[in-house]
Amino acid sequence: MAEEVLEEREVEPESAEERERREAALAKIRKLDDPVLRTRALPVSNFDARLREEVDWMRDVMDGAMGVGLAATQVGMLARVLVYRIEAESPTVALVNPQIEWHGEETETLEEGCLSIPGIRVDVERFLHLRVAGADEYGSAVTIEASGLEARVLAHEIDHLDGVLMLDRTSKAQRRDAMRTWRDRQRDE
């Protein structure tokens, strides 16, 4: 999840340096046709320095890309790891082996975007409230009670870890239009 949330924030125009940083970060993110995005990530069992380095690297990529969430599969790692940050001034949270334990019955349909499908936005119905259990990058148990945007971002990133894309959760018509737009852009590049 990325630019759709950032556009809602009051953001000053990007400088040339910021644009270059964003483009460099986006280049590290796997795009729609990459098979790793359709692969279910594997549980993490080693909570070591290497995992913490990967989490820090993911944080840097997500920040550079101006995203609000990033799953390991989006950067080619088949580990059940995600990072996210809803508020710009908040710390970036890492979740390892996240699982949705509970969700409320109320749903909300909103437009979503994705760093792996830049420039494409589709309506996605998500649960408004959910509880996610997992661990931090040190192996300590974490439980997050999330609502609204935080619940949406967590569900979106956990979907990535399960090989599910936002296009799988939208209407056939929006999926068809999004794929047409994506292919046209790929052809023009």
Q: What residues act catalytically?
A: 157
**What DSSP state is assigned to residue 140?**
-
How far, CA to CA in Å, does 10 sit from each of 13, 14, 110, 134, 136? Answer: 10, 12, 19, 32, 30
Q: Give the whole-angstrom CA distance, residue 130 versus residue 100.
A: 7
Distance CA 130, CA 99 (A): 10
Residue 160, classified by CB atoms within 10 Å of its CB into exposed (0-12), middle (13-18) or buried (19+), is buried
Would you say 86 and 130 are in contact if contact means Cβ atoms under 8 Å apart?
no
47 neighbors 79 (Cβ within 8 angstroms): no
Which token pair is 106? 């109320």
